[in-house]
Homo-oligomer: A and B are copies of this chain.
């Protein structure tokens, strides 16, 4: 874990959020205050139960938000990518994290002390409105995702998540699955074996081509139908 303390906010989308409401001087201030950390694949970013100190923004990479469930298996709630507010769930509602987070790939996270953010909400109404709507969007997306998944069965779930990766996260019909088969199962609430079985079926039906983690959606029409049908 490298701790870099630069002020290189160019190219960071967080900047654009702040710029809408903050003057340049405040923005420069913010840049000095923020901390940037990189996490390697598999590294734990936040452990559930620990104290919340920072407001975190995912600058680059991919993470999973999950909950421990005994020793053996976790349950993944959501997967967050670039420009996501990472700690949306509990930052403003509790003092301790309810969920754990870990990096699915090389990830850079930008942290700002929560008290500074709160101070900014107090002082800057425009900032408050923008932040509120951004947080609402993010939580709404998670609720929708979980709700959609919960009312489908195996085939529909897999199809839905694959399309989610293709459309939302990678914006490409071909991508490297950032999850192991086991994690895939933990995400959609199914066993590893059945995830594999269904992926194999999709391969046999020429809906996908699979090569280890690399997935290529061949018949996205049909995949979309399966996702919708449930």
Contacts and interface: CB of A to CB of B under 8 A. Distances in A.
Nearest to A122: B125
Copies of this chain, how many?
Answer: 2
Contacts of A121: 125, 128-129, 132
A135 interface: yes
Nearest to A118: B129
Contact of A135 (B75, B118, B136): B136
A126 interface: yes
Contacts of A150: 146, 149-150, 189
A126 B136 CA distance: 19
Nearest to A120: B125
Contacts of A124: 125
A92 B98 CA distance: 23
**Chain A interface mostly helix, strand, loop or mixed?**
helix
A157 to B, nearest CB: 11
Contacts of A135: 92, 132, 136
A167 interface: no
Nearest to A128: B128
A125 B139 CA distance: 22
A177 to B, nearest CB: 22
A133 interface: yes
